[in-house]
Amino acid sequence: MMWPSTGCPKAFTLIECLVALGVLALSVVLISPIMETSQTLSTKLAQYGDQELEVALIQLEYELSGLDFAEVQGNTVIFYDETGRKAEFKVVNQTFIKRLNSGYHPLLTKVKKMVVEKQESSILLTFTFLDGRVRCGKIQLPST
């Protein structure tokens, strides 16, 4: 069955437009607190990541006590202990670790890559994390 043509083109009524605007306004009102919360959480997570790096660097400083610097090979820093055992610090499986003998000690997680740069009396470690953040840490070498 066909409806008779009234000669008027089909269009939205004023009520339909007001309802659509109301739904849009309601969705904006509901989404804005979510956006603010996500920005706050993002900031807090970045701060947590920075704190995690600080703790890892403090742990690294502790791990280096009693070790003597040997060399930098690529992105691995090599030290030796008093008995001549080799200790390597490098990234393995997205974790910055200390490897001594056959064991390892994780120091920092979610690391995409680490770049090591030997400077005059220090070593600069540049970490790139899985979330894209780039942070640096410096190891001060004892003067010989």
Q: DSSP secondary structure string, 15-66? A: HHHHHHHHHHHHHHHHHHHHHHHHHHHHHHHHHHHHHHHHHHHHHHHHHHTT
Q: Compute the average pLDDT of residues 90-95.
A: 92
Question: pLDDT (tens digit, 9 = 90+) per residue, 7-61?
Answer: 666 777 888 889 999 999 998 888 888 888 888 888 887 777 788 888 888 888 8
Burial class (CB in 10 A: 0-12, 13-18, 19+), 63: middle
Question: pLDDT (tens digit, 9 = 90+) per residue, 100-116?
Answer: 887 888 999 899 999 99
Q: Compute the average pLDDT of residues 134-140.
A: 89
